[in-house]
Amino acid sequence: MQLELVLNNEPRVLSSVRAFTHETLDQLGLPPATAQELEKLVIGAVQNAIEHAYPDGDEGAIKLTITEKQGKLEILVRDYGVPQNIVLLEQQLHAGPSTTLFGSPTAGVVDEMHWLAFGPEGKALQIVKWLHVTSIAEQADAKTIAPFRDDTPIAPEQQYVVGRMAASEAVEVSQLMYRAYGNSYFNPDVYYPQRVAAQNANGSVISIVARDAKSSVVGHCALELNQAGPVAELGQAVVDPAHRGRGLLDRLKEETVKEAAQLNLIGWYADAVAVHTLTQKSNANHGGHLTGVNLGISPKKEAFRGFGAEQPQRVTCVLYFHWLTKPVVRTVCAPTRHREIISAIYENCNARCSSARRPRLRGMAR
């Protein structure tokens, strides 16, 4: 389903927007209370655009788009008005314990919200709501999601098959992630088999799995294409402890990189948690270039079975970048005082850059 409503910034259009939004959400089978709160949030976003997107007296367009595909509901409220500080708006949206926007609650109502920048062409508020709301913990018996034991016996030697995940294996992938991380993995989508299957079906995620001799899923790695652009993230890597020490993580990564090479990407990156040196070594062994450290990027509650189960603080990640194409020379416009360190960063990534001098304005003193 994809619907689009284009309106001007007159307050009297709100009644039409309300009817359009109400009837659309009513078809999606959402709980009535959730649908009502989501409707209020959308109307609040449209009203905010009507009142603030354009200078007083100026007429402008506002576009409301509602798309539902394979269980993912995405709502965009787009204007073409005065540019805003989107970085600041995004920080305010996700900072602190606040759970309201435009006077409407967001916690438990939406799964994601982001401000999107279009430069001189305005901005948009993106609202994402998954219709798949049953997690693996609610649809599996206790045995299939029991935490991996630290003393798990090693499985007999056997042959493994590594390849693309079948839709029917999404349940096993969610079970694997839950058993490895408990309910602490920072991306909650992995706990919903229908979402895992839907993301693979629409191409936003490519899951690679390792199957044992019984065709059970014992390993997983994913290529995440959540944002437009020539770079993807490699993550969601996990191997059943009973099958570790047999090179499955490397095989999973190698197969995932093969998939990435078919997508005309220039490269991929991976965040290796600082508490697990094996993931860092794996990235280094695969030709990864250490590019930075993301301090405290993951919450303290994120747990890792078998190592670092209880974190004294937020989890830091080490960022590695991997080229899929030969890097070209980039022209970098930077102040003289920053050029040395910028050149060192590029060199560390096996890339080259040339500095471009900033043009002097005529009549301006040095």
The whole-number pLDDT of residue 366 equals 40
Pick the CATH number of 2-130 from 3.40.50.2000, 3.40.50.150, 3.30.565.10, 3.40.50.20: 3.30.565.10
9: pLDDT confidence band, cut at 50, 70 and 90? very high
What the block records as the tokens of 76 is 């965009």
% the chain with pLDDT above 90: 42
Answer for the pair 331, 346: CB distance below 8 angstroms, yes or no.
no
- Report the C-alpha gap between 161 and 211 in whole angstroms: 5
Lowest mean pLDDT among 125-139, 234-248, 278-292: 278-292
Give the H/E segment covering residue 353. strand 353-355
- Report the C-alpha gap between 233 and 308 in whole angstroms: 23
Q: Count CA atoms within 13 Å of residue 6 on its CB side.
A: 3
Specify the residue for token string 């992630």: 177
Residue with the bigger pLDDT between 304 and 344: it is: 344
Name the packing angle between helices 248-261 and 277-285 (round to 10°).
Answer: 50
**CA dihedral of 327, 329, 330, 334, whole degrees rounded to 10:** 130
332: pLDDT confidence band, cut at 50, 70 and 90? confident
- Report the C-alpha gap between 229 and 269 in whole angstroms: 13
> What pLDDT, in 10s, does the model give residues 152-201?
899 999 999 999 999 999 999 999 999 988 888 888 899 999 999 999 99
> What pLDDT, in 10s, does the model give residues 202-229?
888 999 999 999 999 999 999 998 777 8
The mean predicted confidence, pLDDT, of the chain is 86
Answer for the pair 283, 289: CB distance below 8 angstroms, yes or no.
no
The whole-number pLDDT of residue 97 equals 60
Decide if pLDDT at 148 tops 90. Answer: no
| Range picked from 54-68, 181-195, 340-354 for highest mean pLDDT | 54-68
Task: For residue 149, count other CB atoms closer than 10 A to its CB.
Answer: 12
**CA dihedral of 111, 91, 40, 66, whole degrees rounded to 10:** -60
For the chain, which residues make up each domain, given as ranges?
2-130, 136-323, 328-366
- Report the C-alpha gap between 226 and 206 in whole angstroms: 11
Lowest mean pLDDT among 2-11, 139-148, 226-235, 291-300: 291-300
99: pLDDT confidence band, cut at 50, 70 and 90? confident
CATH architecture, domain defined by 136-323: 3-Layer(aba) Sandwich (3.40)
Give the amino acid at 310: E
What the block records as the tokens of 136 is 């693996």
Lowest mean pLDDT among 39-43, 105-109, 317-321: 105-109
- Number of helices (H), then strands (E), belonging to the chain: the values are 9, 16
59: pLDDT confidence band, cut at 50, 70 and 90? very high
3-state secondary structure 26-52: HCCCCCHHHHHHHHHHHHHHHHHHHHH
Q: What is the mean pLDDT of residues 319-325?
A: 89
Domain 2-130 identical in fold to domain 136-323: no
pTM of the model: 0.74
Specify the residue for token string 């007999």: 156
Q: What is the mean pLDDT of residues 116-127?
A: 91
The whole-number pLDDT of residue 147 equals 87
DSSP SS3 for 138: helix
